[in-house]
C-alpha cells in the first residue's frame, strides 16, 4: 500500500521546482490523476505556490480556491494576502467576505484581518476599515497591532485625515490606545506634520503613563522633530525616564541635523559615545548629514536623467503640500482650484510685488527637482504657496504656520516664504524632503543653502 504522506510530500517538493504557471498546471494534472487533488494540505500548498511564487499565477490560484469543495482558512488567507498586495486589492476584500459566507462556517483569524486591512488601506476605504476593526474586536482578537499597521499604511498612501478619523473612531467604540496604536498614530502625525494633534497625543501619553515605554517616547520625539518643533523634541529627549536607546539618540540627531543645527547634532553624537552607546549605520548617516549642512546640488544633465527615468518606466511622485489648521490637515497640489486658497494667494502676491519687489523665479524653479510642478505657468500656484495662503486666510497672525511638502522646495517658493515672513511678520516652518526651512523676518534657517 502506498504511503499517502510520502506521495503528498513528493508533490509538494516537486512544486518548489516549478517556476512557471505551465509547470504548476502540469503538477496539478498529476495530482488530479493520482486522486489526491482533494487533499486540503496538498491543494493549500498548490494555491500558496501559485498565488505568491508564480508571478502570473494569482488568478489560477483564485480559481483553485473557488473550485475546491472544502477550503480551509489557510487557503482563504493565502488569496486574501495575495490580492492585498496586487493591482486588484478589492478582490482581497471580496475573498474575505466569501470566507465569512462559506458553508463550513469558517471564522477569520488574525492573519485574515491583517491581510484584508492592508487591502482596505490601499483602497483608502475608511468606512470598511472601521467595520473590520469592529469585527476584530467582536472576535476577541488583539486589534492594536492591526490598528498601528493600518494607520501607518494610510499615512504612506497620503490618507492622513482618514488615519486620524480611524484612530478617533476606534476610541469611540471602546478600543483604548496602547503601545502599537500610539506609535502608529504618532507616525501619521510625523509624516503629516500634524503638530497640534501630536500635542494632544502627548497629553494623553503623559496622563496614561506611557512615557516609560521607549517606542512611544521615540515616536513622540520623531513627531516633534518632523513637525519642526525642535524645542519640544529636546524636551521629550531630555525627560526620557530610563536609559536612552540608540534609536532615541539617532532620532534626536536627525531632527537637529534636518533643521540646520549641525553643531548641536555633532555634540549630541559625542555625548552618545560617552554614554557607552555604539553608533550604527543610521547614526553615521545622520552625523554625515549634519556635517554637510544639507548641501544642495544643482541638477546636472536634467534632460538626460529624465530620459533615463522614462526609458526605465520610473514614475515621478506628484508634488503636494499639507498644512494643519485647527487640527485638520489640508492638502494642496500645484494649480489646485481651491477658491479660498487662490483668492488669498492673489492678494498676498500683489502685496509682495508692491512692497517686496517680488518677481517670479521661473528659471531656477524649473531646474530644481519639482516634478509635476515644472511648467512655467504653474510657478505662481505651487502647492506650498497655496497651503501658505490658505493657512493665512484661516489663522491668527500670531500663529506659526507649519507646512509639509513631499518634494524639494523650489527657489521661487523659497523666496516667497522669506518675503511673506518679513512683510506679514509671520513665522513659517516648511519641511520639504531634504530639510526644514524656518522663515522669519525675511530670512531662512537654511541660509539659502539647500
Q: For residue 60, what pLDDT is reported?
A: 94
Select the more confidently predicted residue: 315 or 62: 62
Q: How far apart are CA 266 and CA 256, in angstroms?
A: 9
**What CA dihedral angle connects 42, 43, 49 and 54, to 10 degrees?**
140
Q: For residue 208, what pLDDT is reported?
A: 87
Place of cell 507649519: 402
Select the more confidently predicted residue: 119 or 162: 119
Q: What is the mean pLDDT of residues 334-347?
A: 87
**pLDDT above 90 for 36:** no
**pLDDT above 70 for 4:** no
**pLDDT above 90 for 141:** no
Q: Does the global pTM surpass 0.95?
A: no
Most confident listed range (41-55, 256-270, 328-342): 41-55
Q: What's the pLDDT tens digit per position in 225-255?
A: 999 899 999 999 999 887 888 899 999 988 8
**pLDDT above 80 for 103:** no
β-sheet bridge partners, residue 433: none
Q: What is the mean pLDDT of residues 71-92?
A: 92
Q: What's the pLDDT tens digit per position in 253-305?
A: 888 888 888 888 888 988 988 888 888 777 777 777 666 657 444 334 445 44
**pLDDT above 50 for 370:** no
Average pLDDT, rounded, for the chain = 82
**pLDDT above 70 for 373:** no
Place of cell 484612530: 167
Q: How far apart are CA 92 and CA 76, in angstroms?
A: 9
Q: What is the mean pLDDT of residues 155-171?
A: 76
Most confident listed range (102-106, 108-112, 383-387, 392-396): 383-387
The answer to whether residues 148 and 180 touch, using CB atoms and an 8 Å cutoff, is yes
Q: For residue 301, what pLDDT is reported?
A: 40
Q: For residue 307, what pLDDT is reported?
A: 54
Q: For residue 147, what pLDDT is reported?
A: 67
Q: How many CB atoms lie within 10 A of CB 158?
A: 17
Lowest mean pLDDT among 23-32, 79-88, 98-107: 98-107
Select the more confidently predicted residue: 293 or 149: 149
**pLDDT above 50 for 218:** yes
Q: Predicted confidence band at 310 (pLDDT cuts at 50, 70, 90)?
A: low
Amino acid at each position: 500500500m502506498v504511503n499517502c504522506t510520502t506521495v503528498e510530500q513528493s508533490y509538494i517538493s516537486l512544486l518548489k521546482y516549478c517556476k512557471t504557471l505551465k509547470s504548476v498546471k502540469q503538477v496539478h494534472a498529476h495530482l488530479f490523476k493520482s486522486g489526491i487533488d482533494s487533499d486540503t494540505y496538498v491543494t493549500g500548498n498548490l494555491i500558496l505556490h501559485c498565488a505568491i511564487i508564480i508571478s502570473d499565477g494569482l488568478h489560477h490560484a483564485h480559481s483553485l480556491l473557488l473550485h475546491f469543495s472544502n477550503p480551509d482558512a489557510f487557503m482563504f488567507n493565502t488569496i486574501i494576502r495575495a490580492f492585498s498586495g496586487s493591482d486588484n486589492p478589492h478582490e482581497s476584500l471580496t475573498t474575505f467576505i466569501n470566507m465569512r459566507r462559506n458553508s463550513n462556517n469558517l471564522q477569520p483569524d488574525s492573519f485574515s484581518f491583517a491581510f484584508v486591512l492592508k487591502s482596505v488601506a490601499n483602497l483608502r476605504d475608511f468606512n470598511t476599515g472601521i467595520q473590520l476593526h469592529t469585527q476584530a474586536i467582536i472576535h476577541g482578537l488583539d486589534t492594536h497591532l492591526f490598528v498601528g499597521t493600518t494607520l501607518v499604511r494610510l499615512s504612506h498612501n497620503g490618507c492622513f485625515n482618514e488615519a486620524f478619523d480611524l484612530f478617533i473612531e476606534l476610541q469611540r467604540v471602546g478600543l483604548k490606545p496602547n503601545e502599537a496604536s500610539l506609535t502608529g498614530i504618532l507616525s501619521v502625525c510625523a509624516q503629516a506634520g500634524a503638530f497640534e494633534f501630536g500635542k494632544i497625543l502627548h497629553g494623553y501619553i503623559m496622563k496614561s503613563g506611557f512615557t516609560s515605554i521607549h517606542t512611544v517616547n521615540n515616536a513622540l520625539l520623531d513627531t516633534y522633530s518632523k513637525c519642526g518643533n525642535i524645542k519640544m523634541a529636546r524636551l521629550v529627549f531630555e525627560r526620557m525616564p530610563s536609559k536612552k536607546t540608540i534609536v532615541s539618540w539617532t532620532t534626536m540627531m536627525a531632527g537637529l541635523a534636518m533643521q540646520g543645527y549641525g553643531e548641536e547634532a555633532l555634540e549630541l553624537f559625542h555625548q552618545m559615545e560617552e554614554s557607552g552607546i555604539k553608533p550604527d549605520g543610521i547614526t553615521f548617516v545622520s552625523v554625515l548629514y549634519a556635517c554637510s549642512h544639507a548641501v544642495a546640488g544643482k541638477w546636472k544633465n536634467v534632460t538626460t536623467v529624465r530620459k533615463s527615468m522614462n526609458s526605465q518606466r520610473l514614475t515621478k511622485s506628484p508634488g503636494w503640500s499639507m498644512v494643519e489648521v485647527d487640527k485638520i490637515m489640508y492638502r494642496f497640489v500645484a494649480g489646485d482650484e481651491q477658491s479660498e486658497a487662490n483668492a488669498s494667494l492673489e492678494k498676498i502676491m500683489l502685496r509682495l510685488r508692491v512692497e517686496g519687489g517680488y518677481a517670479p523665479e521661473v528659471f531656477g524653479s524649473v531646474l530644481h527637482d519639482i516634478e509635476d510642478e515644472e511648467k512655467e505657468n504653474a510657478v505662481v500656484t505651487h502647492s506650498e504657496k497655496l497651503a501658505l495662503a490658505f493657512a493665512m486666510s484661516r489663522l491668527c497672525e500670531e500663529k506659526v504656520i507649519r507646512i509639509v511638502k513631499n518634494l524639494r522646495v523650489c527657489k521661487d517658493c523659497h523666496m516667497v516664504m522669506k518675503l511673506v515672513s518679513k512683510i506679514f511678520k509671520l513665522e513659517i516652518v516648511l519641511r520639504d524632503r531634504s530639510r526644514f526651512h524656518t522663515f522669519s523676518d525675511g530670512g531662512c534657517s537654511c541660509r539659502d543653502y539647500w
